[in-house]
A and B are shown apart, each in its own frame.
Chain A
């Protein structure tokens, strides 16, 4: 059975989804999806162990060898991302039942879990697949279910946000499809590994150039990179809290994974960074994203909006790390992927708890919550500190590596700008802190109690992970470094 782990990783949640539809009873379905997600988590751990021990695993679906059939090719990078996704999903699901009972009508509960599992398996599928077209198909699975999940939000603006996301996401997917078509046209293969071997022969052609451009733009649409980020804040702000916690922690990470996979493994480092001025382009866009989004975050009244903008800013950090195109920079990006997943899921889950008690996440409603919901607010504070990058939290580790990478490249100015941007982060985190701890409670939120225990457990698991990985950096750094080194090893 151990040999089949790569496929089981995707198949288990995928097949569990229709089973959920058959089970129907919502509490049963919750338990079932939790178990399934837990199994996926265990599988991803053992996959990571196998890969760290013995290198890349290749699994041929249908028993056909690679360029003809579809294969799953799991190396360190995939395993790392798989671990992040399944871990976040499991922890978030712990809180799901309490939260959606409050936020969704009764008849939608089962469907919610079905969509959740579909989205999870779509993302796992994207990450583990070694075939471009298969990536596209699973991308659509995950994004279609994400649209539906976002539209489940109570506010009518959720519908509009979801529609915008649908339009942007579909344009992105179609761009990727065009890119795939052009690549296929030039090489005659769809397999990622095969593509990376055959592309250099035709790398000088204009077709490959525009294929590259289309794929990158398509991914950036999904990634919500700065000028293409318009869909993200609303989508995150109006989706049900659980969905926000899950998507914020995973969806953009998958897009980052795709970006890394395409630029480093498929097109190859030398091609990617010489044909387009990718380095400078991504650096500028990333920095702009950080500053614009952080500034926007300062002016938000809705805390979910605030953290959504902060997500865009964090994507900016990842992109800056990516643009250095050095091992350290890529390590920083991967670390930040990991760390950001931890912080954002903790933060959004804590917001979910606030939503559960108060029914709103307007900043003005946060007055005095520091005393009324001490554990939840403490979690938000620690998450916020982590966002800023205070030592002893995970945020510090990835920023440290990012700065190292920038200094290594001699980009002093950028490093200084990154430090400056942390100041902006301090401002917006401080706003929440100030309102929650230094203002008297509002009359209408007088009798608010601490969030239920089913919220506190997952939140504090994530917060503890935030601190743990901030102090003991061996595991995450080791894996991220190994992954980025292997990527640079692949690229000539």
Chain B
């Protein structure tokens, strides 16, 4: 049982860090704001929650689990909201996505 939890936790952490790194690469490499926000918004939420789940599996105290759960909930709430608000504000203020200059493949994450 112990072993299973250990492995699951390690797996979660691994996936989480991989996702985070890919998001990081995304924010650096993508050509315009909307693709970048796409990269970050998607990977950040999942990556963060993976890492938090991984940590939860490792912890013994229930208070710690509760706190981690709180953080998890908050990331789940806050991240998409912030990303949404950011994208909306950017769009409202006339920041246009790069559509015409590059080919369509560039926009795929």
Q: Do chains A and B touch in the complex (CB under 8 A)?
A: no
